[in-house]
Chains A and B, each alone.
Chain A
Amino acid sequence: MEIDFVIEKFILVTAIFAISLLIAMYSTYAERKVAAFLQDRLGPDRAGPFGILQPLADGVKMFMKEEIIPANANKWLFMIGPGLAMLCACIGTAVIPWGQDMMVGDRLVKLQVTDINVGLLYIFGVISLGVYGVMIGGWASNNKYSLLSSIRAASQNISYEIAMGLSIIALLLVTNSLSLREIVAQQHGWHWNVLYQPLGFIIFMVCAFAETNRAPFDLPECEAELNGGYTIEYSSMKLGFYLFAEYINMFVSSTVMAALYFGGYNYPGMDYMATLLGPTWAPLFGTAIFFLKIFAFIFFFMWVRWTIPRFRYDQLMNLGWKGLIPLAIANIIITGIVIAIVNKF
């Protein structure tokens, strides 16, 4: 392990961490602006030009607020909850390939922190772990609303994990690999997986909405029934962590969807651009395209939030167990048959 390898990875990790925090920060601003646009309002416009400093103002406000730990709460678990939510949100990006190998001087730099050969399952595991932050925090608050909310979060998470796993299996039949690096590299040019797995993509996306607790599946935190759910007893930056973790999760799931189904850093005509820009700038251009796709997904998340009303709890369970899971199984069978026929002829 030579020293420049360590430095290279350190820079990459820091950059990814900073970028995900920055994107999550400006997602809060974007969410308000998108909401304002969809509802024909102006949105935040006081802090800085176009309200661009609004996230900073929000952050300062969160830090300055009084910190309250309820008397009957389980103190340690109450503090671990938001930390765990934040941790699980941040470690997901470690296996994402952000771009093709880049030449810096005469050194080949891999734009990926680590390429484990079960990368896809790693992301799946991190997503399934994310619910613990909500569960532990909700239980430790010692409040009936929070408890109900954490129970809802757990059952919702488990139900939609199954359909998500099944949709990933269909994807694996197409890609033949669990390594994210290979999956993205296979989608060279316009061979995006969404063309081969349209149904799988829709199932995966619906499940991603449910796993990130975003509208229309934000039942654990619905304000009308549960007064905000698991965040009810939280104040100051602990509340901020929960809210922030949700935006990071949104960023991570947008990234995963763009990488798995929409080609990641690949775009039509990338070979031409590679000869035009050279081995240093072409991969960076691909990364920029990747981020454009991610932003499109984040916008879609917000668009859906202000378009579709929240599901009722039984509707949520019906959709998960009776709708998505049979659909995902049918998708696997059809994919298998088609692959068998194609391989035969």
Chain B
Amino acid sequence: MGTSVFYFVATLSVFFALMVVFAKNPIHSVLYLILTFFTFTVHYVLLNAQFLAVVNFIVYMGAIMVLFLFVLMLLNLNKENEPNKSALLRIVGVIAGGCLVVTLIGSLKSVAITSPLVLKNPSLGLVENLGKELFGKFMLPFELSSLLLLSAMVGAVLLTKKEEKTNG
């Protein structure tokens, strides 16, 4: 049963991800992206990683995508003010995208696993175990990544401050 659910949800993820690219309206794109993230949440639940699932739910669906939607609604993008795409740009885009696909397939093929991976501890994704791992074995990288986030935050605040000065 687990496998069939996985294939069903995986098909949905791919479908919604494609719709993100093909949707004409940017707001529709964002809404499809939200649905894609929702299917990812289901994937996490299937992997028994409840904490990651719910964090993905809160952070990506509940916060980041709300911001995306917020910005797009403010910008009000539509057909009229879309920049003209010349034929040359399209050809270049297709070639670059094709190269990316080939590289990705090639790199994924080299790490393809034939036998299914079995975790030693299947309940690793539960919040208690995850916390012990993060604050025990991976303490230093975890804290360093928080520094990275802090620097990004300070940078963002600094950018808005600079703009204020030039605007008078």
- Chain A residues close to B by CB (< 8 Å): 77, 116-118, 121-122, 124-125, 128-129, 131-132, 135-136, 139, 147, 150-151, 154-155, 157-158, 161, 178
A132 to B73, CA, bound (A): 13
Instruction: Please tell me the size bucket of the interface on B.
Output: 20 to 34
Q: Are B58 and A147 in contact (CB under 8 A)?
A: no
- Chain B residues close to A by CB (< 8 Å): 27, 31, 34, 50-51, 54-55, 57-58, 61-63, 66-67, 69-70, 73-74, 126-128
Complex interface: chain B residues within 8 A of A125 (CB): 54, 57-58, 61-62
Other-chain residue from B62, B73, B128 in contact with A150 (beta carbon distance below 8 A): B73
Q: Are B69 and A154 in contact (CB under 8 A)?
A: yes
Least CB separation from B51: chain A residue:
A118
A118 to B48, CA, bound (A): 12
Other-chain residue from A122, A128, A150, A178 in contact with B63 (beta carbon distance below 8 A): A128
Complex interface: chain A residues within 8 A of B70 (CB): 135, 151, 154-155, 158
**Considering residues B27, B57, B66, B67, which has the most beta carbons from chain A within 10 angstroms of its beta carbon?**
B66
In the assembled complex, 19 residue pairs joining A and B whose CB atoms fall closer than 8 Å, in A order, are A117-B127, A118-B54, A124-B58, A125-B61, A125-B62, A128-B62, A128-B63, A128-B66, A132-B66, A132-B69, A135-B70, A135-B73, A139-B27, A151-B74, A154-B66, A154-B69, A158-B63, A158-B66, A161-B62
B2 CB, nearest partner CB in chain A, Å:
15
Q: Are A139 and B54 in contact (CB under 8 A)?
A: no
Q: Are A135 and B69 in contact (CB under 8 A)?
A: yes
Interface residue SS majority, chain A: helix
Q: Are B54 and A121 in contact (CB under 8 A)?
A: yes
**Considering residues A124, A129, A131, which has the most beta carbons from chain B within 10 angstroms of its beta carbon?**
A129
Complex interface: chain A residues within 8 A of B73 (CB): 135, 139, 147, 150-151, 154
A340 CB, nearest partner CB in chain B, Å:
15
Least CB separation from B74: chain A residue:
A151
A136 to B25, CA, bound (A): 14
Given contacts A128-B63, A158-B63, contact A118 B127 (CB under 8 A): yes
A169 CB, nearest partner CB in chain B, Å:
13
Least CB separation from A131: chain B residue:
B66
Q: Are A135 and B66 in contact (CB under 8 A)?
A: yes
Q: Are A158 and B67 in contact (CB under 8 A)?
A: yes
Interface residue SS majority, chain B: helix
Complex interface: chain B residues within 8 A of A132 (CB): 34, 66, 69
Given contacts A128-B63, A151-B74, A161-B63, contact A117 B126 (CB under 8 A): yes
Complex interface: chain A residues within 8 A of B34 (CB): 132
Q: Are B62 and A118 in contact (CB under 8 A)?
A: no
A122 CB, nearest partner CB in chain B, Å:
6
A285 to B50, CA, bound (A): 33
Complex interface: chain B residues within 8 A of A128 (CB): 58, 61-63, 66
A311 CB, nearest partner CB in chain B, Å:
20
A325 CB, nearest partner CB in chain B, Å:
13
4 new A-B contacts at CB < 8 Å, known A135-B69, A139-B69, A154-B73 = A117-B126, A118-B50, A154-B69, A161-B62
Complex interface: chain B residues within 8 A of A147 (CB): 73
B125 CB, nearest partner CB in chain A, Å:
10
Least CB separation from A119: chain B residue:
B54
A152 CB, nearest partner CB in chain B, Å:
10
**Considering residues B31, B70, B126, B128, which has the most beta carbons from chain A within 10 angstroms of its beta carbon?**
B70
Least CB separation from A154: chain B residue:
B70
A139 to B74, CA, bound (A): 10
Q: Are A136 and B31 in contact (CB under 8 A)?
A: yes
A135 to B50, CA, bound (A): 28
A151 to B126, CA, bound (A): 36
Q: Are A121 and B55 in contact (CB under 8 A)?
A: yes
A267 to B127, CA, bound (A): 30
